A = this chain, B = another copy of it.
Amino acid sequence: MAAAQPGRLFLVPAPLDFGCAEVVPLDQLMPAGTIAIAAGLTHWICENAKSARSYLKRIAELQPLALPLREQTIVELPRHVHKKGDHAGEFDARHLLAPALQGHDVGLVSEAGMPAIADPGSSVVRAAHELGVPVVPLVGPASLLLTLAASGLNGQNFAFVGYLPQEPAQRTQRIRELESRARERGQTQQVIENPNPNPGQWVAQV
């Protein structure tokens, strides 16, 4: 049965040091408000349950969790959503928000950075809007914006276009297409690359 008042969907950013040897203390990179809200949640939708648990362990070092980790409800987005993405609207995530309809606040978290930006999660946000569940994005690291600001390239007009194709001819063609957009519009074109196990990215503008 639905609660009189649904819970909220919090978009909880995660640190960017996933898989890195050097780890900065969490409270140096995340606002206290974000950490306090995350510590108070007991229901999670995540990209990967193992890394969500490991993130919650780091939060617990700073602030007691509302429930012990083993008692938290943590559900993963289905594997095919990771692979194909959920931005095109094919995946209906409404069933994942059942706890919110029962009145629980729910956290959405991805492997690193802001959920639903260059990461899965937008299907859950759309489902929340459809179900009347309020969506609250929390402040935290977002690699795309940090990189763009530090690049010195045009931050008044920019596009993030995801990954480049791996196949060499397609890759060259894609880079030329992005170069031509950058030239015609003065629009910074930002892509994401994964040259090694740690995510990295670069920004291109002609």
Contacts and interface: CB of A to CB of B under 8 A. Distances in A.
Contacts of A159: 157-160, 187
Contacts of A123: 152
Nearest to A35: B31
A149 B140 CA distance: 12
Contact of A33 (B24, B114, B116): B24
A145 B142 contact: yes
Interface of chain A, main secondary structure: mixed
A156 to B, nearest CB: 5
Given A11-B149, A32-B32, A87 B125 contact: no
Contact of A136 (B33, B150, B153): B150
Nearest to A129: B152
A126 to B, nearest CB: 4
Interface string A111-151: 00011111101110110110000011101111011111111
Interface string A85-121: 1011000000000000000000000000011111101
Contacts of A139: 29-30, 139-141, 146
Number of copies: 2
A160 B161 contact: no
Contacts of A87: 154-157, 186
A28 interface: yes
27 contacts: A11-B150, A27-B32, A28-B31, A28-B32, A28-B36, A31-B31, A88-B186, A117-B145, A117-B148, A117-B149, A118-B155, A118-B156, A122-B153, A122-B154, A126-B152, A136-B150, A137-B147, A139-B139, A139-B140, A139-B141, A139-B146, A156-B162, A157-B159, A157-B160, A157-B162, A158-B160, A159-B187
